[in-house]
Structure 1
Amino acid sequence: MNTEPYGITTFCDDIRHEINGKLTLVGCYASSLNFNGPPPGILPTFAALINLRVPTNIQFEKISLRVIKTEGDEETTILEAEIENSEDHNEPSPASVAGSKEDGKVLLMAFPCQWTPMNFSKPGQIKVRAYLDDDREVRLGALSVMFTEQPAEDHPAG
């Protein structure tokens, strides 16, 4: 059982909201986004599905969500949101007994985010962080942004 808040972010080109309530993630990235050539790089759309899980025994008033883009030494916040916690969640609950159904319950939150366009001028990262009551950091993932220089083709003299 996980006793700390945790989560993960899936970075992709687009998030589509289907009629039946499903989300379709298009063009998912693993650990890095690689541009095939020198900077700058532009994506027509860029998206992130942020999933945060907080064990129900942890009480908090608000969650601050931040998505930060670093390019070289520059850092820019590209998304900042505050989510107030409902009073129901912060009501004291009876202590759970190990192995009971109360063990391991979590509050699950999903945040689909999109940017159009997304420009990158240098290699860097996209980092996702959540802060419970501004002081408890939860790292939700990062994506490296890299540029691949193309080697000059050797043309024999002739």
Structure 2
Amino acid sequence: MKVTPSGMAIFCDDIRQEAGGAITIVGANPRDEVIFPKGDAKKCMIPILGFYIRVAFPTKYKFEKLVIYAQQEEGDNEKKLFEIQYVAQTLPDAPEYDEKGNLVYFKLTCAHRIPGLECIPNGRIRVRMVFDKQEPIGLGVLEYKYESNE
């Protein structure tokens, strides 16, 4: 059985790291899209964009570096919004299987917040993770566009 890493990104109106370690997600976006009111503006603003990112991979999954990043794509233009790196040496030792023979997973959670994100309508933000220099694994896509006349 081939075991691969997995994960997801939740996009929200705001995100807060609480003093006790909890993460508060405000206004989670259920459709992974932002609709701007129809208008003449060539650029729009997302006042605050929060990211809640959770990834999981088996403890036996071998790698040196994990990079999680968000990239804004508008037409032919691409811009990296943030990048978070984890080095395998910093993870604690853990068994590959539990006492029942089930795989044991590392679970990493991160929260990121971008205030005042300028964008043009009809774009997207992709969140991905990359282990070493392998192919990126998609975690989520937020689309943004003008409202339709329908």
TM-score category (smaller protein): 0.7 to 0.9
Does the residue aligned with 1:86 lie in a helix, a strand or coil? Answer: helix
Deviation at 1:20, TM superposition (A): 3.8
TM-score by length of 1: 0.80
Ranges in structure 2 where 5+ consecutive residues have no aligned partner: none
Ranges in structure 1 where 5+ consecutive residues have no aligned partner: 152-158
> In structure 2, what is the equivalent of residue 140 of structure 1?
139
- Contact kept, 8 Å, 2:126 with 2:142, in 1: the verdict is yes
Q: Which has the larger radius of gyration?
A: 1
Deviation at 1:118, TM superposition (A): 0.9
TM-score by length of 2: 0.84
> In structure 2, what is the equivalent of residue 65 of structure 1?
68
> In structure 2, what is the equivalent of residue 33 of structure 1?
34
Does the residue aligned with 1:57 lie in a helix, a strand or coil? Answer: coil
Deviation at 1:6, TM superposition (A): 0.3
- Following the alignment from structure 1 to structure 2, what is the Cα–Cα distance between the partners of residues 116 and 26? 14
- Following the alignment from structure 2 to structure 1, what is the Cα–Cα distance between the partners of residues 44 and 101? 48
Count of aligned positions: 147
Is structure 2 residue 122 aligned with structure 1 residue 119?
no
- Deviating beyond 4 angstroms after TM superposition, the runs of 4 or more aligned structure 1 residues are 87-91
Does the residue aligned with 1:9 lie in a helix, a strand or coil? Answer: strand
For residues 41-52 of structure 1, what are the structure 2 equivalents within 5 Å? Answer: 41-52=44-55
Deviation at 1:147, TM superposition (A): 1.2
- Contact kept, 8 Å, 2:12 with 2:28, in 1: the verdict is yes
- Following the alignment from structure 2 to structure 1, what is the Cα–Cα distance between the partners of residues 52 and 116? 17
Residues 1:102 and 1:134: Cα distance change in structure 2 (over 3 Å) = farther
